[in-house]
Chains A and B, each alone.
Chain A
Amino acid sequence: MKKIIYLILTVFILLPIFAAPLQAAKEPIAIVIKARGKVYLVPAGQKKGKLVKRGSRIYNNQRILTKAKSYAIIKFIDNGGIVRVLANSFCKFEGKKKKKSLSKNIFLELGSIFNQVFKNRGEYRVSTPTSVASVKGTKFWVQQKYKGATFYFGEEGLVEISNSRGVALLRAGMTGIVESPNSKPIVRKTRKNEKPALDEEEENPDEFRLEFEDAQGNTKELKFKLRKKTK
């Protein structure tokens, strides 16, 4: 009996000592800066997620799942990149601290993401079941078909697509295709309507009001509604 008590006491004394570094190591790698519709954060090793909102933290190996008509915009904490996860997508966020920088990897299992990567902010990679894209300061799309090919669409800068079969460079206006892990990446000119488009944001228009009140307390409001000019 005494042994059990000593054991319990030892565990209770040692637990905080071991838990402290674990706690200290818990640091988000990215933050959700916008979420619309049904966007879930799935912790590592779990199947069910919880709804995210602006400000939700993403830790290493956590995944983002977006349902239909939903999207999320996620920013890495080192300001190294912004990812827009489109509807019906599933991707895992990985981040490893390397001295001054954060080495980032997004593993896209399904769906489409748009990446805006800033220069000199640590390594940034997007991996899919078929290939890996490494970038330094660029904008590009990645689309992963269900149990199928990966498509890359260059918007700006240069993207290196690679897998075990080869390497290809993707430039702005080009489409990179990797049919499977066993096929070489191919790059060609982007065709019309091939590239995913950013969903039309069904957001509330920006508003601000000026309130006027007369001596009787009747109020009238002058309300300004601002919408972004669409091209």
Chain B
Amino acid sequence: MKTKLLLIIILMIGTSFAGSFYHQPPATVLLGDPLRLELQESGANLTTFPPTVYYRSLGEFEFHSLPMESDGFNYFVEIPTAKLAPGKVQYYFALQSANGQFYTYPEGAPYSNYYETEILPARQQRSLKKIEINLISPEENEVLDPDEVFLSFSIPLDIENPEKWNYRITIDGIDQSTRLQQEGHVISFVPGSVRSGVHLVSFKVYTPDGILVGQKQFQFRISDIPSNNKAFSYKGSLFLDNRVQSIARNNLNYTRGGLRLIMNYQKFQIDTRMMINSNESPDLQPLNIYSARLKYQFSYKYFLYLWGGDVFPNYDPLVLQGRRIRGISVGLFSKYFDLDYTQGQSKRAIEGTADPLDPQKMLFPGTYKQDFRSLRPRFNFGSHFSWALNLVNGKDDPNSIAYGGNPKQYLVVGSAIDLNLHNRRIVIHGSVQASIKNVDATGEIDFDTLATTLDLSESDKKMARRVVDLFTKPGFLTLTPGLSPLPSLAINIDARLNYFNNNLVLSYKNINADYFTPGNPFLQKDIAGIFVNDYIRFFNNRIFMNVFYNVYQTNVSQDKAKT
């Protein structure tokens, strides 16, 4: 009870302290005139020291400070405005209570709340003549290489003692005046690193009395071409996300945070990603993401890479797309030849559940760790045609858990072509893939017995023999009773035509029911048909119309009772 009472008293003191001041911001002040700020203390005098005022011109990053003078319950300060820029001035008061605690007034300053007043450039209307600022570099709206960013201005040569004048530069609203270099009548600025894109520059010249006499505002753009500069550069992003959801008694609550950091040094780039999820658990497939990709860039388009951690190689929707592989990926993109090799784990081992009364009896099967390998060489013939071969192999590791179902093995081999013509108005993509699976990779069997069990015809047997010989020797598959040596096929051909305000896509798709790729387990199977889709643009892209016509059949294998 005593503790509660004490807390209430402290709270009351705190509340009374927070509300015991009164301040009325002045509406405006003329540049050159002192800015007088008053702070009245209406309650008991709880401050140990006179408050301090922190102020800055709008656009400045840091605050300047001045201690206030005390006049009974009234504190005041006069801020010289000569060195402030005309426009808004932000300020707040900092106070220390008798118990040593620091407060700001208004509350929340300097992060979210301040007082504002305005400095009017009134005196410049007197007899001072505006000066002309010469923009030496860059030209207005000029496009600069990233290594050539250099801003330079000059003021009229008849100005005496130009070093006594004040100069302010803001780039995209951020005050960079401290980095200005002056040599006589020439004022220059070399930014350390500026992102590519459009930038707005404002340069202002003030007399030694702080009167604005000239300004220049212009835009320029920094090109995205790679920098030859040896300087190190980086960019990054950070996020934190919390979700609390309960819909129809289904709860989805998580907190996740992520960091992305891209660092460049000469031709090297390292791209790191990290995402931490509060629901990460050894009983679930991984939710956290950790990855780092090191690139050696010959140009933006062509580079060598080494990618480690959670990698997401992207081949073709029929083969490998959107699948997280925890491992490494190495590759090359070049003018004539591209290569990717990925090795890792596509599924985490999750132990099954055994019957507590009979440990030999399995209640729920677990998930085997799935070892994953993929390889894709691609040959580029000019910029219009490319031909790729691919191999994707996923194998359950039977030793990864004690309680599991049948360990499985999957192999997909195939080829894809890409063709683009007439400035990419015609784009054709074709992919033909064959998948072989082994639904039970335990035990041993000889090929003849397997062929007899599967009741293969002589021609199928010949083909199956070739497949088995080809893929069991390198270890992609094992010859066990669960092996289906005859491949299942998946074909996809897309043609996109972009003419006469039409974006017409014609697709043919035929994916066998038994086709399976460990690189895209969510691929819709057992489907065949033609898909026609047209996006039409009217009235200079103001109205769009989508027309589509699909003729396709699902359950082609007719092995499902319902579809």
Q: Mark B122-166, 1 if CB is under 8 A from A, else 0.
A: 000000000000111110000101001010101011100001000
CB pair B183 A206 closer than 8 Å: no
Binds A, one of B18-26, B49-57, B185-193, B365-373: B185-193
CB distance from B386 to the nearest CB of A (A): 16
**Count, chain B residues at interface, CB 8 A:** 35
A27 and B184 contact, Cβ closer than 8 Å, known pairs A54-B137, A100-B158, A216-B322: yes
Considering the complex, which residues of chain A in the window 155-209 have a beta carbon less than 8 Å from any beta carbon of chain B? 204-209
Name the CB-closest residue of B to A221: B300
A214 to B314, CA, bound (A): 11
CB pair A31 B224 closer than 8 Å: no
Using C-beta atoms within 8 Å of the partner chain, give the interface range for chain A.
20 to 34
Which of B137, B190, B223, B291 touches A217 (beta carbons < 8 Å)?
B291
CB distance from B216 to the nearest CB of A (A): 12
B196 within 8 A of A: yes
A27 and B183 contact, Cβ closer than 8 Å, known pairs A55-B188, A75-B136, A79-B154: yes
Chain B residues with CB below 8 A from A209, complex form: 224, 300
CB pair B185 A204 closer than 8 Å: no
CB pair B137 A77 closer than 8 Å: no
A28 and B145 contact, Cβ closer than 8 Å, known pairs A55-B137, A79-B134, A223-B224: no
A31 and B314 contact, Cβ closer than 8 Å, known pairs A100-B158, A204-B223: no
Name the CB-closest residue of B to A220: B314
B282 within 8 A of A: no
B347 within 8 A of A: no
A36 to B322, CA, bound (A): 45
A125 within 8 A of B: no
Name the CB-closest residue of B to A27: B184
Name the CB-closest residue of B to A101: B157
Chain A residues with CB below 8 A from B300, complex form: 207, 209, 221, 223
A204 and B136 contact, Cβ closer than 8 Å, known pairs A77-B154, A216-B322, A217-B291: no
CB distance from B420 to the nearest CB of A (A): 15
A75, A208, A216: residue with the most chain B Cβ atoms closer than 10 Å? A216
B439 within 8 A of A: no
A86 to B530, CA, bound (A): 62
CB distance from B126 to the nearest CB of A (A): 22
CB pair B150 A54 closer than 8 Å: yes
A97 within 8 A of B: yes
CB pair B186 A27 closer than 8 Å: yes
Chain B residues with CB below 8 A from A33, complex form: 136-138
A207 and B223 contact, Cβ closer than 8 Å, known pairs A55-B150, A216-B322: yes
A45 to B188, CA, bound (A): 27
Q: Mark A209-220, 1 if CB is under 8 A from B, else 0.
A: 100001111100
A99 to B158, CA, bound (A): 6
Q: Mark A22-55, 1 if CB is under 8 A from B, else 0.
A: 0010111001011000000000000000000111
A216 and B312 contact, Cβ closer than 8 Å, known pairs A204-B225, A206-B143, A208-B224: yes
A226 to B225, CA, bound (A): 11
Chain B residues with CB below 8 A from A223, complex form: 224, 300
B273 within 8 A of A: yes
Which of A97, A100, A208, A218 touches B196 (beta carbons < 8 Å)?
A208
Chain B residues with CB below 8 A from A216, complex form: 312, 322, 324
Ordered by A's residue number, 14 sampled pairs between the chains whose C-beta atoms are within 8 Å are A27-B183, A31-B137, A33-B137, A34-B148, A57-B183, A77-B154, A79-B136, A97-B157, A99-B157, A100-B156, A206-B225, A207-B225, A215-B322, A223-B224
Give A contacts to B, CB under 8 Å.
24, 26-28, 31, 33-34, 53-55, 57, 75, 77-79, 97, 99-102, 204-209, 214-218, 221, 223, 226
Complex A-B, nearest 4 residue pairs according to Cβ-Cβ distance, in ascending order: A27-B184, A55-B150, A216-B312, A79-B134
Give B contacts to A, CB under 8 Å.
134-138, 143, 145, 148, 150, 152, 154, 156-158, 163, 183-186, 188, 190, 196-197, 221, 223-225, 273, 289, 291, 300, 312, 314, 322, 324
